[in-house]
């Protein structure tokens, strides 16, 4: 099961991509209440959005982003049937990819 949920819409040649990523986004500064130990840093470093294989958005995230990030991006172009893919990679080397098609 993918950690990424994508919603797409297009209006007047502008495509809107709404993304919800299930991820803990730990800063490495929080202490576990039960053990008193610091919770290790675990956060998304990079998110890439591709439209029909071409990169249209690439962003770098850090510890300042909250758990389960919700991101919204817009780009010019997009027709019904076009493929939009979203990928992320985190500081531990974990990653995920999901895709959706414009209606």
Express as a percent the part of the chain with pLDDT over 90: 99
Class of domain 4-26+39-101: mainly beta
In angstroms, the CA 16 to CA 63 distance is 25
Domain ranges of the chain: 4-26+39-101
Express as a percent the part of the chain with pLDDT over 70: 100
Provide the pLDDT confidence category of residue 45 given band limits of 50, 70 and 90.
very high
Find residue 87's DSSP bridge partners.
48, 97
Cα 20–23–28 angle (5° rounding)?
Answer: 140
In angstroms, the CA 43 to CA 68 distance is 10
Kindly report, residue by residue over 72-88, the tens digit of the pLDDT.
Answer: 999 999 999 999 999 99
38's enclosing H/E stretch is none
Provide the pLDDT confidence category of residue 1 given band limits of 50, 70 and 90.
confident
């Amino acid at each position: 099961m993918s950690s990424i949920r994508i919603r797409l819409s297009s209006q007047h040649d502008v495509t809107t991509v709404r993304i919800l990523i299930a991820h803990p986004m730990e800063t490495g500064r929080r202490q576990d209440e039960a053990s008193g130990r610091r919770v290790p840093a675990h956060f998304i470093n990079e998110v890439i959005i591709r439209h029909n294989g071409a990169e249209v958005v690439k962003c770098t995230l850090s510890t300042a982003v909250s758990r389960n990030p919700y991101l919204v991006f817009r780009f010019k172009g997009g027709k019904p049937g076009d493929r939009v893919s979203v990928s992320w990679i985190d500081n531990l080397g974990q990653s995920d990819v999901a895709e959706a098609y414009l209606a």
